[in-house]
Amino acid sequence: MRVSIRSITALGLLAIGLPSCRSKDQGKPEPVSMLPAGDMVIAEFRRHTFAPNFSALISIESSTAGGSEAADSAGQRGDQSIDRMLVQTYRKEHDDQTALLAHVLSPEEQRRQALLALERPGQATEVFSYLPGLKRLVSFSSRKRLEYRGATITVQELIGGEQDHYSHETLRRISMNGIEVLEVQSNLKGEFQSDYPKVLGYYRSDNYMPVEVRLLNTAGEVLRIIRFQEIETHGQFWITRRTELEDRISDKRINIRTEKASFEPLSNSLFTTEHLIELVTRAAANE
């Protein structure tokens, strides 16, 4: 089964170097006890990222990892072709849960693809999709890999990382291309499952805005890198306008751009399996 890809608050891009962290005065590493707690850094990130109501029109480009940044009007990056997808997403924080609905608008042959994810603290995420041909509602875990023309992404990445499933520890304060950031290590809690048992996140030390997230396997190898390229503020909330996801295994890049965004209130009825079935059925009938 193929399901759509989407971005959850978009991700972005920074090439980085990681020099060891040294105190400016003594030349010694800064004591961990003097650093902001990892749980606090992640909480601040979530406070600015997960608005009570958020909808976004997302464009997604898949290409091989070696291409340049700019794509021309013919859909080419140098000599490499680029596949594009347009996805409408809705996210709502309500009743102690984060609900996400994502629906592919283009290409036309993908318009029957949609998913609903329900994330609750301390519980495994519930994810649903609907197969109109079989008239069957299916459910799967957040480890499910979604595919689009050679590029893959897990539902976990799609919905924002499931930070509640991890414990968080700030390791050090370092410099990335002249920006002072906090390196936060997140370890998967024993009661949960993920293809990424360890995550390294890099957040600006002045405001905890994300710079880069690295997803690692049990051997400590970096499998994927999420780079936050362009972030703008809207009141207390952040909108990531441009994001890059680099897959070290497949040598693919997924470039995500937030085309439109809104914080207008969303109805709870959007985030039900009944609405998911209706949405996909209507899209399939119009193909």
- From 272, 219, 271, 278, select the one nearest 93 (Cα to Cα): 271
* Separation between Cα atoms, residue 87 and residue 146, nearest integer Å: 14
Q: In the chain, where does DSSP find H-type helix?
A: 38-49, 155-158, 273-285
Model pLDDT for residues 202-260, shown as the tens digit of each residue: 999 999 999 999 999 999 999 999 999 999 999 999 999 999 999 888 888 889 899 99
25 falls within a domain: no
122 falls within a domain: yes
* Separation between Cα atoms, residue 229 and residue 13, nearest integer Å: 4
**What is the signed CA dihedral for 141, 208, 34, 31, rounded to 10 degrees?**
70
Give me the number of domains the chain comprises.
Answer: 1
112 falls within a domain: yes
Model pLDDT for residues 265-279, shown as the tens digit of each residue: 999 999 999 999 999
261 falls within a domain: yes
Instruction: Give me the domain span that covers residue 92.
Output: 32-285
22 falls within a domain: no
2 falls within a domain: no
227 falls within a domain: yes
CATH number at residue 112: 2.50.20.10
205 falls within a domain: yes
Q: Average the pLDDT over 171-199 and give the result.
A: 93
Q: The pTM is what?
A: 0.80
* Separation between Cα atoms, residue 145 and residue 68, nearest integer Å: 26
Q: Which of 24-28, 41-45, 165-169, 237-241 has the lowest mean pLDDT?
A: 24-28
Of all residues in the chain, the percent with pLDDT exceeding 90 is 56
What pLDDT score was predicted for residue 212? 96
